[in-house]
Amino acid sequence: MAQTISRRGLLHAGAAVGAMAGASALTGCAMGGDDKKDDAKADANAANPLGVKEDAPLEVVIFNGGFGEEYAKSHEAMYKERWPKAEIKHSATQQISQTLQPRFVAGDPPDVVNNSGSSQIDFNGLVSQGALADLGDLLAAPSLDDPKKTVKDTILPGVVDAGSYDGKFLSLNYAYSAYGIWYSQKLFNDKGWQYPKTWDEMISLCRTIKAAGMNPWTYTGVHARYMSWPILMAAAKLGGTDVLKAIDNLEPNAWKHEAVKAAADAYYQLAVDGFLQPGAEGMDHIKAQTEWCNGNAVFISCGSWLENEQKAVTPPGFNMAVAPPPSLTKGDKLPFEAFRGTGSEPFIVPAKAKNGRGGLEYLRVMLSKKGASDFTRKVSSLTVVAGSAEGIELGPGLTSVTKMIQGAGKNTFNWLYNSYYRKLERNLVNSACADLLAKRINSAQFVDQCQKGADEIAKDDTIKKFKRV
């Protein structure tokens, strides 16, 4: 069934929105932008508050992942309507770091970069080298929809904080992503099953599923960190969000908190009891998600881009749905409805962009209601623009996401360690999750392994540190 989003429902999405993580080190490469003079600049006025030079070319590079690239072409067309003399160069790649890192080092980056995906450029390196433009002028500019409101007034709470480093807003996380456990509502209706709200109920249902000859869970073994998401969500619900802040701040023994250990122990049980699909250890995310869509497993951990990413292979009537991870105990500090809600798809304007003012203007176009609603229609994802999805008919997956947002109310949260220190999640935690789910280590060894990785980063003076308050 389709559903339309109400203003009330979308405003409930005002979670602490965080940045997605990046890849590969830029440390040691001179990429600072403080000495750059932006010659593609005009005098600012009411009609042109960001001082865009009307005939300056604009280069946009998009991560061609779960959202594809077509939405960006629409944004580019909207920019062209405003600045018809500007020539726009569009390109898309899944290899952001490999493609663009040499250009950052050479001082010849694009004007706008969708720095996302498994090969994104490490934000820690970009920030420490001064390679990103301050987006503060964008926030202060009047919105395209209502000149009486600034752009900052139109976006959901938490977006600015999550994209800020050392007090500067450097990254716009455009999509709003909700993370949870996905299943087929049609299958549940056919079997008479109810989604489990407690871990005991989850284990009981997994036994029922296995007895019926089905695999309860699948996961992407290649990107095993996908399973760290429900582990950390369960830990935050059990022990409170201070558990996550301690991890973000690289505090000693943060990963060894009893709530993290309990959550890891719960998900380790899935492996021990044989509830994971055989062969999942070798699957990438598309393979695992396709196995799930084909009915070869009941549950999978993912974010709200899943519906769009799998639309080509999802069977008619599958009716995908998402729910928060089950509560571990009756005494959890946060209710069952709590989940991780965060911004994703980070967009940046390089400090040495030839048309930095145009880059800011492009982001202003994206943050208009027209730009945001078009994105939602094309890729089945919410944006961080408040109220922009009102009246849009949604697929079953995103309809389920909006219900989860409404159910959580203010009980949404996020972590930032993956943005601050990409290596920690993408390499070290990913490896620990892979070992845990393959039963090469147990839950106690899992938290030890994650803590060891965090301690290594904390002691590394070449890595810039950030403080979450």
Q: What is the CATH number of the domain that holds 81?
A: 3.40.190.10
Same domain, 119 and 203: no
pTM of the model: 0.82
Say yes or no: 170 and 230 in one domain.
no
Query: Around 56, how many Cα atoms within 13 Å sit in the side-chain half-sphere?
Result: 22
pLDDT at 19: 33
Residue 131 lies in a domain: yes
Beta strands in 234-359 (DSSP E): 300-303, 320-323, 339-348
Residue 308's pLDDT is 87
Separation of CA 189 from chain center: 30
Residue 2: what are its φ and ψ, rounded to 5°?
A: -95, 160
Whole-number pLDDT of residue 94: 95
255 and 335 share one domain: yes
- Same structural domain, 146 and 203: no
- Encoded amino acid at 369, one letter: K
Q: What is the pLDDT of residue 230?
A: 98
pLDDT score, position 389: 85
pLDDT digits (tens, 9 = 90+) for 212-252: 999 999 999 999 999 999 999 999 999 999 999 999 999 99
SS3 67: coil
The reply to whether 448 falls in a domain is yes
Q: Specify the pLDDT at position 301.
A: 98
> Based on the structure, what is the number of domains in the chain?
2
Domain range enclosing 166: 3-177+342-397
In a domain, 465, yes or no: no
In this structure, are 368 and 336 located in the same domain?
Answer: no
410 lies in a domain?
no
The residue type of 80 is: K
Q: Enumerate residue ranges in the chain where pLDDT < 50.
A: 1-29, 32-34, 37
Q: What is the pLDDT of residue 39?
A: 59
Residues 6+ apart with CB under 8 A from 419: 18, 19, 20, 21, 22, 123, 162
Claim to verify: residue 23 and residue 134 sit in the same structural domain = yes
pLDDT at position 13: 33
